Structure 1
């Protein structure tokens, strides 16, 4: 084979053709090297000529296999067997085209790399560190009156956003850097807390219409300064400075080069005053108060009035409008439909003017989410993440939807990414601690909740989280203590009040619970706890008469009947309520309730096929929850109820035992109609007695807590 190839090379005169070409290349390169400096040609001229000549070598080699190069042109080489000139057919042309394209592409790539290296040398920029993550700290305000914080914080946010869009770095969320910067930590300490490789810090001084920005890039491992630059510009040039800083950082930390003009700030506007109004709006937004949100809206509207084409101002306005919706905690002043309509209108104007703003799609997703359009919301969040892979809030909001859709593994993955970007966020910390508890990682969960209390001492979320964690572990007395602390910090919060009252009722402290509320919401619960069943059933019958199409009113009535009343009537009410629930309500996890109770009702009324259909769906969700790694006594209890409805007493007992071990303490377990046929089984009966025993133990502990003189009583 090799001898044949060598023989063909000789016959086709390949080497006699290539050697003159090599000589020609050498000669031309010598000529270029001489005339380039004489004529003051650009440095890249010689490189370009060399690349073209070298790229031509494989083309000449390919052609020399089929043709002799003569002064009269290309002569086809005769075929070895027939002696006739070889035909240069379609396949040969395809081969030649492929070689030309490949050689040209390789030459282009190499030329581009040489060009980038040359530009880096001219700019004095080279890669100083291979990094995967970065945080932008708030710039220090060195202005004479120290009144330009809204500009320094805006600069921090914009650099964070720009780096998230144009770099391949994981960029820590600005909210985390703001939170840590308030604690007088050094930049290196902040970098280590955020677990980033590098930090951007600096200072800003505004004097009249002039600004001076000094920027430093620091290695968070050893604190060494990797790069520093000072910019003295007019204030209107702040966008160009932001773009230049971002471009320089990418070129310093990544093995690629961004040319001038490749980075564009979304905050750019032709009207400087509009930008000032936008920054003041962001300053008010960060206060996270109703008053701040209202003021932020005014500033964003002023920015739009000054520059009707200012896309980012429309985005800020839309975000604020949704935060002012009545369903939003602390900020609600607008009706939901009004807030959504106004926000959607503002978003449409923003995207028409600039379709590359990641925050616009994230807020659009939130609008869809508020309207219940979860698929559209997920699509919008993915669009936002596609533009800015470091947009932490998009990952957090995506997690909330995926959780609602029972896509637990995907939800936790999204939450973990949000945590990696925004580890000081109150919402991210709280939700991550909650998910860790659901996965049975209770120690890690407790550490995170304690971190929330340390980082945000005035927030009730850390105490509420620990209360929920202890409740899930069956430590009801400890749970009661933490619910009370959360309630003291936020006495107007209905959820904390209901959780505190609910725990009191579970522990049997009904009178103490009554002293905390006169809300008619608790009337039926208090009647049940007080064993005033006749009055209880009159109340729920009146509620059904008043709200005949409310599925939850019927469910509550059916549930009370199933526990302490007429189970035949209970099953009928459950069946009547069934068509009134939507799919998401019906199969809500982790208890698959009210579907599991309705499955019992269909079984009780001998509609076995319908019962099995509903039960099968609950079983699928149960398996999915277990496969996702969820360690939750509610899920274990669901497994026990599924086994009971399938007439599998041994499996039901094992699952109930596991649920109790993991913290199941509900007082109504012994009256649960689903277990009614199994109560005569000795193991089931002993497990129900065990629940009652553990409840008594927790009640004694709680009594000490309630009567402890050093505990503050919650406000009514």
Structure 2
């Protein structure tokens, strides 16, 4: 018998004795037991050694199972020794049987070896899951892990959220320090190529929460979460961090760092590198040399002040932002040339101005001084370039320069959500709405719960006619922080735009219950009353807003709308002439010039009105707040030319208005006011049916105004048409209904009266 025949007979004997079948069944069962124990045992308080015992038992049980398959057989008579097929007696160890047994032992050894390899792969994961506590991480959000497991995350891990480190000092005054450490970890990790890092605001939305880590990960759209704690005693602190797999809630890696405060940046760099190594990601070129996106400083006192400044800045209140400026300035005094703090000063001044909390000149002076120093000491920092871009748009009105700086900031740090947000605003002002929305979507990926990001996205959804989606976005923000008056303000504004006036009033009054002296909210309630046709109530709310903040540009522009609606054109011109020379903001100046032009046209001063409208329009694709308003101004300009008998200019202006409308629609713009502006153009062109059609579209989309077109003279040629009169009647009926609802909600009308 040849060797080959001998081996074949041996394997045939193994098959006859069902050894292969038993081996496969055993391996499947052992795999199920090992996997189940690695999940179940730690959850019930067993240490990782218990899981190791299960693995070892499975390994040693495998040869035993194969031996039993060789010598025993299950028959109708019960368990018997395996019989020899030729002699019908008991099995004997002949040559073939010996060879088969040797083959079985080799196979058992090989498969046991593979099981050992699997156990080795499981070991670190199980050990990490039970570090410090036998329970899963999802059951212990505030655990302070004191171990350095070397488990490595899977290669597919590419996203992370850094939850606020828990302040375990026992002193609330140290909260800023733990928050600052969290921010520095965020900054460091955001420099890593291929790693998507959720930004600060979204991560901090889960501060002090006991929510399941897996649910947090799903909401933030990440597959790993870094959490931990900070203890501080004098000049010494301990930072404990652990990386958690969102899929199962177990630790991937953990470590503890005990350091003195004077080497805080080195610790931040060390922690960032350790997490990156655990995630098995390769750094991007030179960025691997310094993961922390901050200028290194020697002393700790300046950094302490910087953290305090960040803590106050993110409160977004006037008191908080002014306090932030003070802390940033102290940091700069202590550590001369500390660029991140200088960039913080720029941002704080501009945020104060954009929220109507300071005048333009104060904001420009404060931001300009800090920006020059920031560029001198840290021009290569993402934060500094982003602040430069914000300054160029908000203070200088330089859109091209703003875009250049913001794109440079994103090149330096693609995970800086504010740079994407501010770039979106700059692109929007250039009429590049689709590009702007794409940047907002990138910002949302980085910081999915940031109120400013979500509010801006909602603005674009409203602009694209997606009202319900915009409302859903803003309601999500209010669930996170019900005290955000700015979100209520946006909801109120767009509720009015889409004709949901009573809903807008309800939301505004909800906010006013908590912030009765907020000028912006009071002004917007006044604007809603203008849309409802109640000019007396509008005057009352706008007057209160001006009394509280006489320097607010937003409140002043609302007052301009009231004067125009009340046909106080001469008073409007006088008020603007007194105001426009005290405002240095380019956007405000353009709006004031536009209102003056509209008032002049209504006063019959067509030449003067046309000049003011031309000045305010400039490039109609870039300077107005939205294309709907551009088209509205162009229709008034065409009307003025029409009254002056300048036929060629009328035609050119109306063609330009339709071109603006086409560009806006091509960029996705869909609002009731856009339809209204196009209707005004058609009416001036004598295209009555098409004008009525556009008004129909506007009303269906939610346009509501007394008399439908108010006092706008572009529609004079439609007044006697039955179709126009029917639209006016339809709108007036709905306005009466909503006025009654508003009065009833205010307690000024009974339910029966409201129903009538």
TM class by smaller structure: 0.7 to 0.9
Is this contact kept in 1: 2:302–2:330, CA < 8 A? yes
**Separation (CA, whole Å) in 2 of partners of 1:543 and 1:318:** 32
Matches within 5 A, 1:559-574: 559=598, 569-574=604-609
Q: Does 1:465 align with 2:490?
A: yes
Q: Does 1:356 align with 2:380?
A: yes
Is this contact kept in 2: 1:251–1:257, CA < 8 A? no
Counterpart for residue 142 of structure 1: 168
Aligned length: 577
**Separation (CA, whole Å) in 2 of partners of 1:559 and 1:475:** 27
In the TM superposition, what whole-angstrom CA distance separates every residue of 1:385-433 from its partner, at most 9, and x where no partner exists? Answer: 1111111111111122222222111111111221222222222222222
Which 10-residue stretch deviates more, 137-146 or 365-374? 137-146
Choose the corresponding residue for 1:407, options 407, 420, 432. 432
Is this contact kept in 1: 2:495–2:504, CA < 8 A? yes
Q: Does 1:306 align with 2:334?
A: yes
**Separation (CA, whole Å) in 2 of partners of 1:587 and 1:246:** 42
Matches within 5 A, 1:212-291: 212-254=238-280, 256=282, 262-265=289-292, 266-291=294-319
Counterpart for residue 46 of structure 2: none
Is this contact kept in 2: 1:396–1:415, CA < 8 A? yes
Counterpart for residue 57 of structure 1: none
Shift of 1:136: 0.8
State the secondary structure of the residue aligned to 1:458.
Answer: coil
Distance change in 2, residues 1:317/1:547 (3 Å): closer
Choose the corresponding residue for 1:589, options 606, 612, 627. 627
Counterpart for residue 451 of structure 1: 476
State the secondary structure of the residue aligned to 2:190.
Answer: helix
State the secondary structure of the residue aligned to 1:492.
Answer: coil
**Separation (CA, whole Å) in 1 of partners of 2:170 and 2:340:** 29
State the secondary structure of the residue aligned to 2:231.
Answer: strand
In the TM superposition, what whole-angstrom CA distance separates every residue of 1:334-379 from its partner, at most 9, and x where no partner exists? Answer: 713311321222212332xxx4321111111111122211211111
**Separation (CA, whole Å) in 2 of partners of 1:237 and 1:190:** 32
Distance change in 2, residues 1:240/1:613 (3 Å): same
Counterpart for residue 429 of structure 1: 454
State the secondary structure of the residue aligned to 1:696.
Answer: helix
Distance change in 2, residues 1:587/1:508 (3 Å): closer
Distance change in 2, residues 1:349/1:512 (3 Å): same
Q: Does 1:397 align with 2:425?
A: no
Distance change in 2, residues 1:617/1:333 (3 Å): closer
Choose the corresponding residue for 2:746, options 706, 711, 714. 706
Counterpart for residue 727 of structure 2: 687
Choose the corresponding residue for 2:663, options 624, 628, 632. 624
**Separation (CA, whole Å) in 1 of partners of 2:743 and 2:404:** 51
Q: Does 1:675 align with 2:715?
A: yes
Shift of 1:634: 0.7
**Separation (CA, whole Å) in 2 of partners of 1:193 and 1:455:** 12
Shift of 1:144: 6.3
Counterpart for residue 654 of structure 2: 615
In the TM superposition, what whole-angstrom CA distance separates every residue of 1:88-120 from its partner, at most 9, and x where no partner exists? Answer: xxxxxxxxxxxxxxxxxxxxxxxxxxxxxxxxx
Shift of 1:559: 4.3
Distance change in 2, residues 1:378/1:224 (3 Å): same
Instruction: Give unmatched runs, 5+ long, in structure 2.
Output: 1-148, 548-555, 582-588, 752-756
**Separation (CA, whole Å) in 1 of partners of 2:321 and 2:540:** 36
Instruction: Give unmatched runs, 5+ long, in structure 1.
Output: 1-122, 712-716
Distance change in 2, residues 1:296/1:686 (3 Å): closer
Is this contact kept in 1: 2:152–2:252, CA < 8 A? no
TM-score normalized by the length of structure 2: 0.69
State the secondary structure of the residue aligned to 2:533.
Answer: coil
**Separation (CA, whole Å) in 2 of partners of 1:464 and 1:547:** 24
Is this contact kept in 1: 2:597–2:612, CA < 8 A? no
Q: Does 1:378 align with 2:415?
A: no
Which 10-residue stretch deviates more, 425-434 or 362-371? 425-434
Counterpart for residue 49 of structure 1: none
Matches within 5 A, 1:24-63: none
Counterpart for residue 230 of structure 2: 204
Distance change in 2, residues 1:499/1:204 (3 Å): closer
**Separation (CA, whole Å) in 2 of partners of 1:142 and 1:448:** 34
Counterpart for residue 647 of structure 1: 686
Is this contact kept in 2: 1:602–1:610, CA < 8 A? yes
Counterpart for residue 103 of structure 1: none
**Separation (CA, whole Å) in 1 of partners of 2:436 and 2:370:** 26
Choose the corresponding residue for 2:195, options 165, 169, 180. 169
Distance change in 2, residues 1:367/1:524 (3 Å): closer
**Separation (CA, whole Å) in 2 of partners of 1:649 and 1:698:** 29
Which 10-residue stretch deviates more, 151-160 or 497-506? 497-506
Shift of 1:261: 6.2
Distance change in 2, residues 1:204/1:687 (3 Å): same
**Separation (CA, whole Å) in 2 of partners of 1:497 and 1:295:** 26
Shift of 1:489: 3.5
**Separation (CA, whole Å) in 2 of partners of 1:524 and 1:332:** 19
**Separation (CA, whole Å) in 1 of partners of 2:408 and 2:562:** 49
Is this contact kept in 1: 2:617–2:624, CA < 8 A? yes
TM-score normalized by the length of structure 1: 0.73
Distance change in 2, residues 1:162/1:570 (3 Å): same
